[in-house]
């Protein structure tokens, strides 16, 4: 069949937010991993939607690896920013990382779509996606299209809505 257009996305967010679990859920059955371990550095993953073939840079969220994120900004067409919606204590750290991203020279003047997953919606003390976007002041982003979805990376709830939005932005 016709080869789908490729889109590069960088998948960022704090350690333990669920980035690798989300990507694993999006991948085709035959390439899924059975054990998700904390990412060292980064991994490159592939997944498809109806209209696009995605190459995803799954970056480690651990503090000592966050300086790697910026090396992939230039070649990315879109951003997936994953939040652990149950981790209220570190929401301000996530906000600082988001602001550093938005002010970065390779990001600041580009109209890159940003998809936020307010992940771990299944946990009892998870904040709603609206509450997460308020805490990160996402509404202040005026020069880039953005979208936030509550998600559960274990069941896949919310993931399709998010990647369909991103596909519409990039196709």
Q: Which listed residue (8, 16, 55, 62) is catalytic?
A: 62
Q: What is the 3-state composition of the chain as percent helix, strand, coil, each rounded to the nearest 5?
A: 35, 25, 45
* Neighbour order of strands in the sheet with 78-84: 42-48, 52-59, 5-12, 78-84, 114-119, 146-150
Would you count residue 18 as binding ligand GTP (CB under 6 A)? yes
Q: Where are the beta strands (DSSP E) in the chain?
A: 5-12, 42-48, 52-59, 78-84, 114-119, 146-150
Q: Which of 15, 70, 106, 160 binds ligand GTP (CB under 6 A)?
A: 15
In angstroms, what is the C-alpha Rg of the chain? 15
Instruction: Find all residues with CB under 8 Å of 171, minimum gap 6, and list them.
Output: 5, 51, 52
Q: Name the one range near ligand GTP by CB under 6 A: 15-23, 49-57, 100-108, 138-146.
A: 15-23
Residue number with CB closer to ligand GTP (82 or 107) = 82
Cross-strand partners of 86: none
Q: Does 25 bind ligand GTP (CB under 6 A)?
A: no
43 binds ligand GTP (CB under 6 A): no
Concerning whether 62 is annotated as a catalytic residue, the answer is yes
The footprint of ligand GTP on residues 74-93 (CB under 6 A) is 82
Compute how many other C-beta atoms are within 10 angstroms of the C-beta atom of residue 111. 8
The nearer residue to ligand GTP, 5 or 71, going by C-beta atoms, is 71
Interacting residues with ligand GTP between 147 and 166 (CB under 6 A)? 152-154
Q: How far is CA 40 from the centre of its chain?
A: 17
Compute the least distance from the CB of residue 46 to ligand GTP, in Å: 16
> Does the protein bind ligand GTP through residue 62 (CB under 6 A)?
yes
Q: Which is nearer to ligand GTP, 122 or 168 (CB)?
A: 122
Note whether 129 binds ligand GTP by CB under 6 A.
no
Catalytic residues: 62
């Amino acid at each position: 069949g016709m080869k789908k257009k490729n889109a590069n996305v960088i998948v960022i967010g704090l350690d333990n937010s669920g980035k690798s679990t989300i990507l694993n859920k999006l991948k085709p059955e035959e390439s899924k991993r059975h054990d998700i371990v904390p990412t060292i550095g980064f991994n490159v993953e592939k997944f498809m939607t109806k209209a696009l073939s995605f190459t995803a840079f799954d970056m480690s969220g651990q503090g000592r690896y966050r300086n790697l994120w910026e090396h992939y900004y230039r070649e990315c067409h879109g951003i997936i920013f994953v939040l652990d919606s149950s981790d209220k204590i570190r929401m301000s750290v996530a906000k600082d990382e988001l602001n550093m991203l938005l002010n970065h020279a390779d990001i600041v003047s580009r109209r890159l779509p940003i998809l936020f997953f307010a992940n771990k919606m299944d946990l009892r003390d998870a904040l709603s996606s609206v509450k997460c976007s308020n805490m990160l002041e996402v509404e202040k982003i005026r020069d880039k299209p953005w979208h936030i979805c509550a998600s559960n990376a274990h069941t896949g709830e919310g993931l399709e809505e998010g990647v369909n939005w991103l596909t519409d932005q990039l196709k």
